[in-house]
Amino acid sequence: MEYRKMGKTGLELSVLSFGSWVTFHKQIDDSIADELMGIAYDNGVNFFDNAEVYALGESEKMMGRILKKKNWERSSYVVSSKAFFGTKTGNTAKPNQKGLSRKHLVEACNEALQRLQVDYLDLYYCHRPDKSTPIAEVVWTMNHLIQQGKVLYWGTSEWSGVEIMQAHAIAKEYKLIGPTVEQPQYNLFERNKVENEYLQIFKNEGLGTTIWSPLAAGLLTGKYNEGIPTDSRLAIQGFDWLKERWMSDDKIAKVKSLALLAKELNVTLPALSIAWCISNPNVTTAILGATKVQQLTDNLKALEVVPLLTKEVVEKIESIMQTKPKLADF
């Protein structure tokens, strides 16, 4: 396993990590999750990603039960939570049970600690920007949680470059601890934030990234080429938005062409797609999700594919995808 510093921090994360979004509680039970986390850990994965909203808190409870059972040294792994969406469905959330107010961030942190059965969160993210809460309130609150020892590092997820820089400006003005990591979506289809919008932040602030959906919700596995399997995440009730986002003839055609290139290289399409993500030096870690042992072990082989990404191969990928962001001329 390769380990990378998270931005300018001293924290080292495995370049491949393991997440629970969609899978935990919804697709797999404790026994399978236990086995998958064990395989990940034994292969050098040291970062396990979670959030309050995943299965409305049940995902964190499941991971907490497994962490307690595994009894790994606490210093040997990194675990995260994220706050914004809350754990209530629809209109059942009362005021302050979602968003980034000081009240919700503090209470969501305390609840995540209980669910995960840990004394502190290594990483704590603002899961989305909150237009109704001043960024200064967020920065002060996160700094407070770090001072209390409940959080070690804080970050953002799907924030704009401008919002992240505002948080840094406030942190510098008041000598507080600013965000050190962002969790953006990044894959062969979704590239603008990591390859364009955040470039100046990488350069000036040394932002780490823990990217999600490196396989574009499974599209880059090729399993949706002939339709939607009944046991896949796009078939899960409530995930129609995911299906609408990814299922198109144009995208499927690109995936099929990419699969032919993977075959030429004698590697799997998922491993090629993940390897492409982590070949970007601004990616600290790519979060993997899995429901089966074979999926996880195959995806962990992405490390072996990175050396195959020669200039010629990357050019072939770009020719197929046609998704490279156009950078602004300065």
Provide the annotated active-site residues. Answer: 54
Does the CA dihedral 145-207-76-35 come out positive or negative? positive
* CA 289 centroid distance within chain: 10
Q: Which residue's structure tokens are 């305390």?
A: 110
Residue 15 has what DSSP assignment? S
How far is 307 from 215, CA to CA, in rounded Å? 19
List the one residue out of 15, 23, 73, 25 whose CA is nearest residue 47: 15
Instruction: Supply φ then ψ for residue 276, to 5 degrees.
Output: -60, -40
CA distance 260 to 183: 30
Buried b (16+ CB within 10 A) or exposed e, 26-52: bbbeeebbbebbebbbebebbbbbbbb
Q: What is the chain's Cα-based Rg?
A: 19
Tokens of residue 269, six digits: 């399409």
Phi, psi (degrees; rounded to nearest 5) at 19: -120, 165
Residues near 318 by beta carbon (within 8 Å), at least 6 away in sequence: 324
